């Protein structure tokens, strides 16, 4: 079977429990022209031993000092030569036949820069749902700040990487969204209405963990990307609404982490930028954020202690 060379990069940091499954999902694809690169970002959990077992089937791999996911990806893509590019994180997998489906969808259409589909959601080795892709609309992408593309079920042409890459290495979480916005006005995207990958939920995943780093990255995006020179001029009229959406994302994460004063500041910034971006939930939490932080923390500590009290049970009505 002939066709374009497909380059896949897997960044990994302390995911030895999942890494082998990820690597085999790439290496056992039915599409033959695969260039697979793995970058270990300073793992200390045996990940390197897993990679070593498959080293002879990799185009290149390395272990580096921990520099963060975007830096690991950029280094990996710098060692690729394929016409089509994608990355699969070390706790996700490609479904059988995914690469053949991507290649077929791209065909000879040079204006088609991005192809993406759905991802099956897994937790505790069980399928619990589907992460649905949404239709591609650059204006909606910029206006809402919502990413319609499940990352693990997406692939792009090298031209897209040359036009919109590399990933911003200052980013903790939202680097792919920035990449897609930069890419949006350069060519077309195609949605495949089928699952192409799996997406694993677990306590250490960035998606699940309500980390302050995610909130700080949302603030960075709001204050630098939406107002900076890399934001496409054609989408500039949507920038205020998109910027407000990221202030609100930061506010929600801060509030849930009991950083009430920080949450309040982000709510106020969003209110100044684009008041219409507020939902009823945002307004409710904004009002709650006016309560002094020490009071909120004291209430949460009291509720937590009450739940842990001896003799309490989470079961109800079994009598």
The tens digit of pLDDT for each residue in 101-133 reads: 999 999 999 999 999 999 999 998 899 999 999
Cβ atoms 116, 106 nearer than 8 A? no
Nearest residue to 197 (alpha-carbon basis) of 271, 68, 93, 303: 93
Distances in whole angstroms, Cα of residue 77 to Cα of each of 70, 113, 166 = 11, 17, 9
Q: What is the pLDDT of residue 176?
A: 97
What is the tens place of the pLDDT at every residue in 142-151? Answer: 999 999 999 9
- Both 144 and 289 in one domain: the answer is no
- Both 27 and 58 in one domain: the answer is yes
Please indicate, yes or no, whether the overall pTM of this predicted structure exceeds 0.85. yes
| Cα 73 from chain centre | 13
Q: What is the pLDDT of residue 2?
A: 80
Among the ranges given (32-41, 64-73, 193-202), the one the predictor scored with the smallest mean pLDDT:
193-202
Quote the number of domains for the chain: 2
What would the mean pLDDT of 40-48 be, rounded to a whole number?
96
- Both 38 and 103 in one domain: the answer is yes
* Position 302 confidence tier, pLDDT thresholds 50, 70, 90: low
- Both 121 and 269 in one domain: the answer is no
CB-count exposure of residue 277 (10 Å: 0-12, 13-18, 19+): buried
- Both 289 and 222 in one domain: the answer is yes
Nearest residue to 183 (alpha-carbon basis) of 106, 101, 111: 111
312: which 2 tokens?
């309490």
The residues, ordered by sequence, that sit 6+ positions from 42 with a Cβ below 8 Å of its Cβ are 13, 63, 64, 65, 66, 67
Q: At what angle do helices 260-273 and 212-220 cross, to 10 degrees?
A: 20
What is the tens place of the pLDDT at every residue in 223-279? Answer: 999 999 999 999 999 999 999 999 999 999 999 888 999 999 999 999 999 999 999
Q: Does 313 reside within a domain?
A: no
What residue ranges in 41-136 does DSSP mark as E strands? Answer: 60-63, 84-87, 93-94, 112-123, 126-131
Which residue range forms the structural domain that includes residue 15? 6-201
Nearest residue to 244 (alpha-carbon basis) of 214, 266, 263, 260: 266
- Both 94 and 194 in one domain: the answer is yes
- Both 231 and 190 in one domain: the answer is no
- Both 191 and 237 in one domain: the answer is no
Q: What is the pLDDT of residue 318?
A: 34
- Both 162 and 84 in one domain: the answer is yes
Tell me the average pLDDT of the chain: 92
* Position 42 confidence tier, pLDDT thresholds 50, 70, 90: very high
- Both 165 and 261 in one domain: the answer is no
318: which 2 tokens?
């079994």
CA distance 24 to 54: 9
The residues, ordered by sequence, that sit 6+ positions from 168 with a Cβ below 8 Å of its Cβ are 70, 175, 178, 225
Residue 67: CATH number of its domain: 3.90.550.10
């Amino acid at each position: 079977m002939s066709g374009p060379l497909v380059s896949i990069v897997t960044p990994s940091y302390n995911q030895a429990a999942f890494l082998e499954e990820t690597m085999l999902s790439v290496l056992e694809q039915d599409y033959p022209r695969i260039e697979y690169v793995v970058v270990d970002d300073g793992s200390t959990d045996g990940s390197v031993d897993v990679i070593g077992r498959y080293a002879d089937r990799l185009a290149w791999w390395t272990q580096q000092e921990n520099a963060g996911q975007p830096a690991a990806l950029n280094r990996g893509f710098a060692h690729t030569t394929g016409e089509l590019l994608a990355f699969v994180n070390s706790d996700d997998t490609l479904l059988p036949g995914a690469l053949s489906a991507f290649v077929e969808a791209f065909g000879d259409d040079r204006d088609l820069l991005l192809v993406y589909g759905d991802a099956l959601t897994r937790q505790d080795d069980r399928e619990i749902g589907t992460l649905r892709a949404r239709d591609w609309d650059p204006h909606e992408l910029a206006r809402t700040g919502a990413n319609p593309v499940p990352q693990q079920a997406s692939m792009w042409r090298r031209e897209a990487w040359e036009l919109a890459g590399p990933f911003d290495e200052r980013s903790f979480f939202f680097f792919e969204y920035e990449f897609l916005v930069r890419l949006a006005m350069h060519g077309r995207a195609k949605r495949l209405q089928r699952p192409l990958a799996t997406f694993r939920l677990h306590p250490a995943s960035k998606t699940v963990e309500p980390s302050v780093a995610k909130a700080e990255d949302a603030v960075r995006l709001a204050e630098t990307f939406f107002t900076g020179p890399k934001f496409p001029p054609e989408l500039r009229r949507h920038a205020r609404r998109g910027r407000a959406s990221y202030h609100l994302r930061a506010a929600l994460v801060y509030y849930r982490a009991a950083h009430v004063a920080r949450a309040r500041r982000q709510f106020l910034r969003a209110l100044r930028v684009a008041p219409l971006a507020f939902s009823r939930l945002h307004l409710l939490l904004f009002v709650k954020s006016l309560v002094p932080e020490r009071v909120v923390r004291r209430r949460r500590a009291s509720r937590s202690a009450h739940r842990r009290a001896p003799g309490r049970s989470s079961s109800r009505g079994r009598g």
